[in-house]
Amino acid sequence: MPKMRTTLIRGGAAVIGQTVSQQDVLIQGEHIAALGKLSDHKADIEIDASGLLVLPGAVDTHVHFNDMFMNTISVHDYYTGTLAAAYGGVTSLIDFSNQVSGEPLMNTLKIKKDEAKGKALVDWGVHPVITQPTPNILEEIPLVVEEGAPSVKCYLTYREEGLMVKEEDLKRILESLQKSGGMLMVHAEDNEIIEENVKRFISSGLSKPIYHAQSRPPEAENRAIRRCLQLAKETGGRVFIVHLASDEGVELIGAAKLEGLDVIAETCTHYLILTEKMLERDDGIKWICSPPLRSQSIQDKLWEGLEDGRLAMVTSDDAAYSWEAKLYGAQRFDECPNGIPGIEARLNLLYSEGVAKGRIALPRFVELVSTTPANVFGLAPQKGSLNSGSDADIVLFDPKAKWNMNQQTLHMATDWSAYENIEITGKIVKVFSRGELIIDGNRCLAEKGRGRYIRRRLDSSRQKPT
Ligand SMILES: [Zn+2]
């Protein structure tokens, strides 16, 4: 057997579980071989990490690459998207793959394998999205679970875009997932409330971006979340609420957990950093996303939910549409493709606004961006934490460095940025993916196509994340 290359990262402060302590990290081949005081060890490559944090690579389980939506396609493909991911410290991601009309559900995996081939720089997985739950599609649910894609997403809105499923179908999908060891992810916004509001606003000439937010009030989310919780109760199935952005939603999830329902919720970076005030600007279409950005008081509630565990994790909901495409909404908000590019910004923003500003502790930050997403979506123990034997997915992070986040300092493929001139504390210095140095300062060293498909399996003991 050829000798595996070794790398020794010396003297950094590693975040392992709830502790932060000085640990040397030995990488052998693709894995972490040892952690601890390794002063007598030698390695092929030695890196001085004193003054730096040693973090597990970030895991982003909510991204939309090559996503065809509202007459456009997202500009992040498996090269540009994973490049931005790597610069943002993301070493594993899970992408949504929409069911194609008339095709088997298994094709959702094949489509992404084709898209990733020769392009992906980091490891990736797939969430199949069911939009037409015919009996044949329902029968295929155990097959996609078996193929390593056990998390299936459905939408309760976007009827006109062809994404919405009916509630009775949602129940059938959840029952099938429960039997086969899967989990249902739901975009929980009530379509009826939204469609009625949009019609009313547009017909009265209220077409500016702020009316996008007003057409999708927190109550639209709350109503849909209540229905999902009811389904979780009726079926005993596991339900994951994506991009939660309502204060009452946080309370509903908290109460459901106390009741013992198998329910988990995430929020996304932009709801924690930006408010609906952005939509009042002349270029407010930049910040049109769904659910919409909310008030400051709701934002404060979301941070509270993250701190106390009612919200389990933070993802980016990366949906990167070009400025040209966003301009479809220049005259009326309902024609703007909904979405914000964010895969690169999440780790930095969460550290800067969360840890550096004292809102969350450093170990909690690591749980939110790495450990819990990996645990919930079946990527652990290979991904999401620094353990001997795990994949050597590691971020070296300078907690003191200051920089300005804007279109010029980010690497995402959009020709605009939702984050304009945000002062950031903390900077990614190096990123390793399976033992390979892929980001070194402002250089990307990763070879196209090195990223691998991750076959996932959900934890059968169904441990609830804290
Ligand atoms: Zn999304």
Summarised one tens digit per residue, pLDDT across range 207-236 is 999 999 999 999 999 999 999 999 999 999
Of 459 and 353, the structure prediction assigns the larger pLDDT to 353
Please choose, from the candidates 64, 11, 50, 57, the residue with its C-alpha nearest in 3D space to the C-alpha of residue 32: 57
Q: Could you tell me the distance, in angstroms and rounded to a whole number, from the CA of residue 409 to the centre of ligand 1?
A: 24
Q: What is the pLDDT of residue 2?
A: 64
265 alpha carbon – ligand 1 mean position (Å)? 13
124 Cβ contact list (under 8 Å, min separation 6): 78, 82, 92, 93, 94, 95, 112, 116, 451, 452, 453, 454
Amino acid at site 445: L
| pLDDT value at residue 1 | 55
> Residue 70: its pLDDT value, please?
85
Tokens 């994973």, located at residue:
82
Mean pLDDT value of segment 414-438: 97
Query: Distance, CA 3 to ligand 1 centroid (Å)?
Result: 43
- Distance between CA atoms of 302 and 339, rounded to whole angstroms? 19
Q: CA-to-CA distance for 98 and 76, rounded, in angstroms? A: 16
- At residue 266, does pLDDT exceed 90? yes
The dihedral over CA atoms of 354, 358, 359, 364, expressed in degrees to the nearest 10, equals 70
333 Cα to the center of ligand 1, angstroms: 18
Q: Which amino acid type is present at position 4?
A: M
Query: Cα of 319 to ligand 1 centre, how many Å?
Result: 7
**pLDDT above 80: residue 460:** no
Residue type at position 221: E
Nearest residue to 96 via CA among 157, 155, 171, 146: 155
Q: CA distances (Å), 196 to each of 190, 191, 192, 203, in order?
A: 11, 8, 6, 11
Residue 285 has pLDDT above 60, yes or no: yes
Give 290 Cα–ligand 1 centroid separation in angstroms: 8
How far does the centroid of ligand 1 lie from the alpha carbon of residue 321, in Å? 13
Q: How far apart are CA 337 and CA 289, in angstroms?
A: 8
DSSP symbol at 418: S
Total residues belonging to the chain: 466
* Greatest pairwise CA separation for the chain in angstroms: 74
Residue 461 has pLDDT above 80, yes or no: no
**How many angstroms is it from 310 CA to the middle of ligand 1?**
20
What is residue 449's predicted lDDT score, i.e. its pLDDT? 98
155 C-alpha to ligand 1 centroid (Å)? 10
Model confidence at 433: pLDDT above 70:
yes
Query: 252 C-alpha vs ligand 1 centroid, how far in Å?
Result: 21
Average pLDDT over residues 157-183: 95
Give how far the C-alpha of residue 460 lies from the chain's centroid of Cα atoms, to the nearest Å. 22
According to the model, what pLDDT value does residue 274 have? 98
Token pair 């459901």: residue: 256
Return mean pLDDT, the chain.
Answer: 96
Say if residue 462's pLDDT is above 60. no
Report CA(175)–ligand 1 centroid distance (Å): 23
CA of 39 to the centre of ligand 1 (A): 45
